[in-house]
Amino acid sequence: MTTDNRSDALEPRVRTLKRALCLFCRLIAAGLFVVATSTHSVPVAEASAQTAAALVQKIIDDRVEAGLAPALVVGIVRKDGTKEFYAAGTLKANGTEQVDENTIFEIGSISKVFTTLLMAQMEEQGDLEFSDHAQSFLPAGVTMPIKEGISQPSGETPPTHIALEHLATHTSGLPRMPSNFQPKEPSNPFADYTCQRLYDFLSSHALAGEMGQIVYSNLGMGLLGHILELQSGKSYEQLLIVWICEPLGMNSTTTRPRTRDAARVATAHMGSTPVAAWDFAALAGCGDINSTAKDMLIFAAANLGQVDTPLLNAMQLCHAPRVTSAKSPVKIGLGWHLLGQPEREIIWHNGGTYGFASFMGFRPDTGEGVIILSNASYRGVDRIGFHLLDDGHKLDKLPELVTIDPRILADYVGIYSLNPDMKLTIKNDNDQLFVMVSGQPFFPVYPTGRDEFAFKVADARISFVRNQQGKVDRLVLHQDGLDQEALKTN
């Protein structure tokens, strides 16, 4: 659920091939804490307004023209509350209907900061405490996993229970996804994960992870959303609309687009191929929201204190850092990620589903906020967002594609093994090369040279390596400064 996943992604530096490729298809998945930084940093707003506008428009025009996404929409709020919108592309690949600030996209894991805001509001009203045990909200017969405690002088070893704050900060020790997450329809994976399956997993799971350590968990945040439903007696969508959207005037934000809004709903894509939009059942709190750049910029402005709203105290409570890690420069608040020193801090989250990608961030010191929405699983939205907030963050590099003889594509077809449990399958379909990692969908790759290919859904490349006889016998995945080799097995 991609924190690339930096999301849904989501998500410490990518260390294995599986995590690297999962960023393409999970809500704010891997790359959650992968942030390119520089000592030079000037917000785009410091340039002239005309120059800044031209820069933003060129950034998204270039990426749509390069085929990285059928469409991109950017919203920027300035310190004085001025809002700017930039759009490029169409609702559907090769279509004619243009996107704009009112186009509806899946926002994926950005939903998580709405879930934690709902929790903070309920805490303000006395409906719960952050320290409450998750177990206390679940139906009779459902047992939350616990962590065995350290032996006390008395000889007792009291267990550590998972609290709501653990769920909200990815420190519960719960895994990223439950082991019984086996969708009947992989293209819409969350649709059939019911409450009963969630309860079955919780009641049988033994915590392997350490509580208090950051392990990004779609399961944990989805469980938190479900607990809020149980505590309030309302559905996640009802909570979202009544507690957040109506007070802020976010009139196009729902969990599923309404029938009357069908004409402005963007189609989901992998590259330029249409794919299914996602539906959620028990885990709505980890990624179920659909919204527009216009609505999301209202939300950003409210988080910056530019909107007169009673939600501000709860919002600011969510911004405060609560967890740090020696392995990452990113701190974790309630849902939000925080990067940089307090005087230059970026508060952000990103999201991604199989067919959408999103980024939202803001800087309290400059009073600026950014939202970027794409109708493709293109993780370059993260780099665009960070760059617009602080140009010390580099944009993704556009692939320079070349034409190759399609007859050589057969050389690359086969199965490549990183280890016994992790394989990449390469196929050629109508002179288009596709790559699939075990248990994931196929993604197209495009030639940038002989034996060299690039993904459009993320800043990643593949090099095929030939032996002395000229036969391809391995490949190397290049991403985030890592080079990972997989041997051809057939």
How far is Cα 121 from Cα 140, in angstroms, rounded to an integer?
26
Q: Which pair of tokens denotes residue 371?
A: 């939202």
Averaged pLDDT score across all residues of the chain? 88
What pLDDT was estimated at residue 8?
A: 43
Residue 286 · residue 64 · CB < 8 Å: no
| Residues facing residue 77 across a β-bridge | 83, 369
Residue 459 · residue 383 · CB < 8 Å: yes
Q: How remote is the C-alpha of 359 from its chain's centroid?
A: 8
Report the alpha-carbon angle 261-262-266, nearest 5: 105
pLDDT tens by residue, 348-368: 999 999 999 999 999 999 999
Q: Which pair of tokens denotes residue 70?
A: 């059928």
How far is Cα 221 from Cα 284, in angstroms, rounded to an integer?
9
pLDDT tens by residue, 401-415: 999 999 999 999 999
Render each residue's pLDDT in the chain as its tens digit; 490 residues.
433 333 343 333 233 333 433 433 333 333 333 343 333 445 554 557 778 899 999 999 999 999 899 999 999 999 999 999 999 999 999 999 999 999 999 999 999 999 999 999 999 999 999 999 999 999 999 999 998 765 455 555 556 899 999 999 999 999 999 999 999 998 999 999 999 999 999 999 999 878 889 999 999 999 999 999 999 999 999 999 999 999 999 999 999 999 999 999 999 998 888 999 999 999 999 999 999 999 999 999 999 999 999 999 999 999 999 999 888 899 999 999 999 988 899 999 999 999 999 999 999 999 999 999 999 999 899 999 999 999 999 998 888 899 999 999 999 999 999 888 889 999 999 999 999 887 777 888 999 999 999 988 777 899 999 999 999 999 999 987 889 999 999 8
Crossing angle of the two packed helices 312-319 and 111-124, in degrees rounded to 10 = 120
Residue 177 · residue 209 · CB < 8 Å: no
What pLDDT was estimated at residue 159?
A: 65
How far is Cα 172 from Cα 170, in angstroms, rounded to an integer?
6
Residue 317 · residue 120 · CB < 8 Å: yes
Query: Which of 246, 440, 215 lies closest to 328, judged by CA?
Result: 215
How far is Cα 165 from Cα 7, in angstroms, rounded to an integer?
21
Spell out the residues 6+ positions from residue 468 whose beta carbon is closer than 8 angstroms to its own. Answer: none
Q: How remote is the C-alpha of 30 from its chain's centroid?
A: 8
Strands 368-374 and 71-77: antiparallel
Residue 344 · residue 101 · CB < 8 Å: no
Domains within the chain, CATH numbers bracketed? 1-398 (3.40.710.10), 406-488 (2.40.128.50)
Q: Which pair of tokens denotes residue 7?
A: 């999301």
| Residues facing residue 27 across a β-bridge | 2
Q: Which pair of tokens denotes residue 222?
A: 């989805």
pTM score, whole prediction: 0.85
Residue in the structure block whose two tokens are 């939205």: 381
SS3 46: helix
Q: Which pair of tokens denotes residue 50?
A: 């005309």
- H helices of 262-305, in order, are 293-303
